[in-house]
A and B are shown apart, each in its own frame.
Chain A
């Protein structure tokens, strides 16, 4: 008994204790805040339902962007910092298509066809940018130490932001409103804003398509092989360079589609629009365990939900004024909390420990 205790004591370092105390304190605060909020009863079930739906919509967009981060991380072990600009480029370019459709009235007559075209344009542009980015900036750096591609990516991110600013201008452009998605659908006593439902549905479809593409097809299999072991897959006859390009293109397509969804939801585009969702999606990818595809989806949805529900649920009860301002702080605290207990993310693999 004493011996076991001694062994346990040896295994637990003081830092572990500090970490548990920090983690425990955050958890206690969360639980206390939530019970206080619920006891106070300031929000009805309708409010909570709205929060959850908004969180899901936002989270599924994060999940789509996070796929790009996680796929690229898988094959190259690098943070593609410029992914947020890939995300921005598609919908920003597609805006001009959308605006033209809107002016000619085509958008209202054939909303589905127009949306399809808008999506296509955005996805093509985003994946094109991603392809060029890999070709020009990242390919020569395959063997460089880790930090160098990161700096390149940061540089590329600045460059792309300001190229698009130069091309399209620095103002906010209001995305045209699709009439059939205005208003709300009611289910019994709950009502959903239509465009939020559309965003969730579309994102879910895209995620499912993407996931089955990675899991089922030959190309998907090859991409997974490359992310397991580049050399071995090269010896198995896989064209590694091509697979890496393909990965960027797929990630770019997901980002472009996510961008249009984002534009539909927030109804505007801007050359700097990628920065915040980009960082959030990257956070989501890490939260789920970077390099892990289901992890990125899970992380994205988790983060979106926490951001939407968290401020009211955790902080309102503690008597904090304007809790909504702290939503990002909550998101990042959650990240730190998860990483304290699982240093490689929710679904993190051993790979993260070994390689990173």
Chain B
């Protein structure tokens, strides 16, 4: 038997920072849910809203992202050469450059620099890279006082905790908890009951540190190889003080921060501020060519030393990451935190659970794996692949894809069990996925179980709900017993649909093929039938294809070989239909998103991917285009008066549907038909495919869902109830679990109100 999980009161976040052992991950989730969650939620969601608002104000937001991406790609491609160019520029100006291969090399260099100048006090600006190399610990061991001057870092130093966010490292601390912490640690009688009082308290301590520091240590957001310019973004003024007041300035900078020219810093100015804190510009954005010419600051009695500048470039695994086709993407990261703030799981537990010893959130796993060991990235399990971060990343990193690859690598290291061997044989898993854990093979091959269950639905449904079977499923593959299993239908969509031969009727308004995705074919059959009914009513010629797994489930479990095999087979099936002049309709958004987005990594033929991307549609999205093309008003086709659930709706779109741009159409269409629609604004419902079905993550999944349930309750608070409408299969399950009410798909509702 494993040891019982510790209660949160006993936990110091440091003790669960490394999650090589899965138990630590579970302890950290529990700690975060019990203690930190409300504060994290408030702070990340404030950042998230701010980012949407600020980026909307940038008229060239997409062009800026493209430009930033291109610059980062070039920089990493030219990195070794840029390092040498930068070295020459800085040295010609009288500065020193040290390239640290490992964290220890950097520690040694900074420590010896500090001891050489006789430093007693080092003041630090915010630098997560210095956290990565554990610099404070090394300097303190050498008898040097280290003062963290960013207020969040100051809190963490007092509390001895690791950062919980890439740009707001103490984001998990509420004002009340900071008050309690300061009163306890500083033994002060001061009230410290407001943000102003706490700020003033810390400011007075730190002002003395700035004025008397011997060495200032900063990071840098970017550094230009042609001029040696550091770009430093902040809001408190501490980084300015740290970089200009002490006579010795040490900048600890990851090598990936180097870009070719100072001019190319331009697109990052607004992009970083908007993506990070949701501002048009942060309070201070400095561009320094150190050593700067200003005289160092020296209070009376302190000798005025000449300025020194040391650039410590950190490799620590980065040059190895550069050679890794997947992890190389991580080096484009400009550390804005947008992927953290837009992530529903991160918004609920923050970076002490969804993070490692230094880095956190969606991108954090790749950082931890790249600079350390693969097992350190185990927390990336909390990336559900919902993809909400994808469009938020200012350098267009496909973060879910990185995490699916990490999962794939972790799967291979898991070691085979009897059960995983059996599942491999049953599902005919490709060789590369053979050794994956049983739970991954089970959830990744859902279609196999669904297909068998649908052959004998009565038996499968009663078995699936028996206590014994649920106990076995819980113990063997980690399926949470509190989750209701979907019922297998008496007839699959394929067998229930009236097959047509596919010949185009001469007067058809459109030619389409409905792809019966696994979730619709073996579960939500009514949705598929409704799509057929609506499209045919408008005069479209619709055929239904065979049902095949498209690889979504496998991809989300990191079974990349399986996903590749499946999506290639499904792609060739759909491509044939496209070749016959048909557009493809897919009801389940996660399946649709495979062809619109994820398949780019898995299909070898990029022209085929492009055909699929441009010819696959969500049903209501397609309806919108079709009626517009025909010049029909939606109200001439649908009669809202016939609605069996009234005209007031609460609509929740699917996370991946939002990412591929297929969500807004449904909302607009329902309104155009005459419904009164309130939409959810959550990033994801928390179920996220199979994530919420796993017993390890059930509590987290429900806690994420609470935001959605709360929005439903608020939409209904002062008025009558609203009918619940959702586009995703797992969102439907989650909404049902939270609200205990029927949930309709938009197409089902539309099919019910077709005019004769």
A and B interact physically: no
